[in-house]
Chains A and B, each alone.
Chain A
């Protein structure tokens, strides 16, 4: 099993290399160069040429690529054109914010989806299932954007239950505990809405899994052993139905990152998603490149996590 996992991790390396090459050359094609943000417009052409020479911009593309990678490892992603600070530190803070938002969203999403899936599967075609189905139709049909704006308007402005911007209030009372509480208060509304509208696939998978597994031969075998129905459900039906969901976790992570762009913009939550939108509108290419690279790597890692989880929970794909 460990071998499979390790091999799977190794497979990731060429994926990331290819990704980085793609992104690097994509970035090259964008207008501007690493010090467009640094230099003074009045600087004379010769100095620029000299600087270019110094920074290796006249080197062969692959040399430039290698340098770029080297810098990457040193944590040097260049300077932001607009913010006058290094991309690394700019993204650093934002990434942390996005991480917490995503984590809370994932946890909430499963917290809603799993019980809903179980109830829907167990009481197929009865009222609980039908209620959940209606809920699913609604959350699936509403575009994310509309849901976020609606929630923001209702709970943020109208009811004033939650803050409408940022990650922490300016006026937060001193003390680490208060600080955490305040951050949570900022996270909860966007996370809750994102979680609610992301339950559909999980609920559907779990529901069909439970319904399908109920008539599987091995479930009949368990019953023929005289195992009580409650145990048959938990140990055989439910356990086996959760399997495809664990495999889905990678996709969920990917989807969340995509969703982050919209959520963060609507809630003015300073994470990577919002940064992404800002850098597009301000044509801040170094930031954009770095963000695309990060999103790409995260997607690959998400897949990796899915595969590893699958290898651990499903004995059929464990290779000796």
Chain B
């Protein structure tokens, strides 16, 4: 299989909790994941399942006082959990780039595009000012922006959504980081622009061999881009599998329910599948037993495991608990 040096990120038993009324509640609960070079790992799940929390734990951007992070995030033997700020600042941007969801809000409205890209070069490269400017134009060109010279002097509000997202990508890849975290990079965009942006991410990967964590709630996007998929529910990973395997042989009831609730293109289904209930809010999260069980109440309680854990069912395919074997849809 892959050489061990391919391993970029090794997350072990990560818990990220937020303080609510004096108590900590884990929004990310015992997550273990790996990311390799040249890989696109998709993380899917409904709103509130902890996807963004996972990403911000990796890049160390959270409110230090009200967040508690435990476990290990190993990046080349370096544990990012509890890393001091000045060391972390050498890693952010340089080794880990991040792409955000809302391309307008993610750019400083009062700074020119060029300056915002240049800022990251200033802190992570030895380039002088002139070289930095040249590199900015190069980057804009690379992300497919026409007329880089003019655009670099413009302000964010002067660009369209698709263009802004390209600028954000240019910022994230400026220092050729080995890891890219993309948190819903195309959710705010039209499908045509979405396709272009996803192609762009792949092209960049071909060039830099970066490992990409792609957060999305769109299963279509997953199927078109990911190599591996982790499905998250209520802060936990319920299933991990290579992308083909996940779509041909989904096992966990949650994964299957999600797939079922998509409007199918080739069937005229009168009624769409609805998952009963809602994702519980943080402070109402169950602390033991299976978190998904309340949403499939017709499944006999004896089928559920008491402490479901991830089992490997085939190489690379892991599912939380074993009683998925007894799962069936109500109708």
Q: Which residues of A contact B (CB under 8 A)?
A: 216-218, 220-229, 236, 239-240, 243, 313-316
Q: Are B86 and A228 in contact (CB under 8 A)?
A: yes
Is the Cβ of A217 less than 8 Å from the Cβ of B100? yes
The interface stretch among B17-25, B90-98, B245-253 is: B90-98
Chain A CB within 10 A, most for which of B93, B110, B168: B110
Instruction: Contact check, A218 vs B109: say whether CB atoms are below 8 A apart.
Output: yes
Report Cα–Cα, A315/B119, bound state, in Å.
19
Q: With an 8 A cutoff between CB atoms, is B85 at the interface?
A: yes
Which chain B residues border A314 with CB–CB below 8 Å? 110
One of A224, A236, A243 near B93 (C-beta < 8 A): A224
CB distance from B83 to the nearest CB of A (A): 12
Do A226 and B120 form a contact, CB below 8 Å, given A217-B100, A221-B168, A315-B157? yes
> B109 contacts which of A220, A223, A225, A240 (Cβ < 8 Å)?
A240
Bound CA span A236–B168, Å = 16
Q: Is the CB of B100 within 8 A of A316?
A: no
Chain B min CB distance to A221 (Å):
5
The 10 closest A-B pairs by CB, nearest first: A226-B93, A226-B92, A217-B105, A225-B120, A225-B93, A315-B155, A224-B98, A218-B108, A226-B89, A217-B106
The distance in angstroms between the C-alpha atoms of A217 and B110, with both chains bound, is 14
B285 at the interface (CB under 8 A from A): no
Task: List, in ascending order, chain A residues with CB within 8 A of B100's CB.
Answer: 217, 220-221, 224
B102 within 8 A of A: yes
* Residue ID in chain B nearest A240 by CB atoms: B110
Q: A217-B105, A239-B110 are in contact. List 19 more A-B contacts (CB 8 A).
A: A217-B102, A218-B106, A218-B107, A218-B109, A221-B100, A221-B108, A224-B59, A224-B98, A225-B119, A226-B91, A226-B123, A227-B89, A229-B85, A236-B108, A240-B108, A314-B110, A315-B109, A315-B155, A316-B157
In the bound assembly, the distance between CA atoms of A68 and B97 in angstroms comes to: 69
* Complex partner residue of B108 from A222, A224, A226, CB under 8 angstroms: A222
Q: How far is the CB of B123 from chain A (nearest CB, A)?
A: 5
Q: Are A221 and B107 in contact (CB under 8 A)?
A: yes
**B59 CB to closest chain A CB, in angstroms?**
6
What are 23 contact pairs spanning A and B, CB under 8 A? A217-B100, A218-B107, A218-B108, A221-B108, A222-B108, A224-B59, A224-B61, A224-B98, A226-B90, A226-B94, A226-B123, A227-B89, A227-B119, A227-B120, A228-B123, A236-B108, A239-B110, A240-B108, A240-B110, A243-B110, A313-B110, A315-B155, A316-B109
User: Residue on A with the closest CB to B86?
Assistant: A228
CA distance A299 to B158 in the complex (A): 33
With known contacts A227-B123, A315-B155, A316-B157, A216–B89 Cβ distance under 8 A: no
A242 nearest CB neighbor, chain B only: B110
CB 8 Å contact bits of B99-121 with A (1 = contact, 0 = none): 01010011111100000100110
Q: Answer whether A220 and B106 are a contact pair too, CB < 8 Å, given A227-B119, A315-B155, A315-B157.
A: yes
B171 touches A221 (CB 8 A): yes
Is B13 on the interface with A (CB-CB < 8 A)?
no
User: Which of B152-181 touch A at CB < 8 Å?
Assistant: 155, 157, 168, 171-172
When chains A and B are docked, how far (Å) is the Cα of A217 from the Cα of B120? Answer: 16
Residue of B nearest to A215 (CB): B63
Bound: A243/B157 CA distance, A: 16
Residue contact A223 to B61, C-beta cutoff 8 Å: yes
How far, in whole Å, are A216 and B110 apart by their CA atoms in the complex? 13
Residue of A whose beta carbon sits closest to that of B123: A226
CB contacts (< 8 Å) of A221 on chain B: these are 98, 100, 106-108, 116, 168, 171
Query: What residues on B are CB-neighbors of A220 within 8 Å?
Result: 61, 100, 106
A239 contact set on B, CB distance < 8 A: 110
> From B122, which residue of chain A is reached at the shortest CB distance?
A227
B135 at interface, CB cutoff 8 A: no
A218, A220, A226, A313: residue with the most chain B Cβ atoms closer than 10 Å: A226
- What's the least CB distance linking A200 to chain B, in Å? 25
Among B91, B119, B155, B168, the most chain A Cβ lie within 10 Å of the Cβ of: B119
From B124, which residue of chain A is reached at the shortest CB distance? A226
Q: Which residue of B lies closest to A218 (CB)?
A: B108
Contacts of B171 in A (CB 8 A): 221, 225
- Distance between A47 CB and nearest chain B CB, rounded to angstroms: 68
Docked Cα-Cα span, A160 to B190, in Å, equals 73
A257 to B88, CA, bound (A): 52
B105 in complex: contacting residue of A218, A222, A240, A313, CB < 8 Å: A218
Pick from A216, A220, A243 the residue with the most CB of B within 10 Å.
A220
Complex CA gap A222/B110 in Å reads 13
Residues on A with C-beta less than 8 A from B88 are 226
Taken together as a complex, chains A and B put the C-alpha atoms of A225 and B102 apart, in Å, by: 17
Q: How far is the CA of A65 from the CA of B85 in the complex (A)?
A: 70
Distance to closest chain A CB from B228 (angstroms): 24
Query: Which chain B residues (64-98) contact chain A, with CB distance < 8 Å?
Result: 85-86, 88-94, 97-98
Chain B residues with CB under 8 Å of A240's CB are 108-110
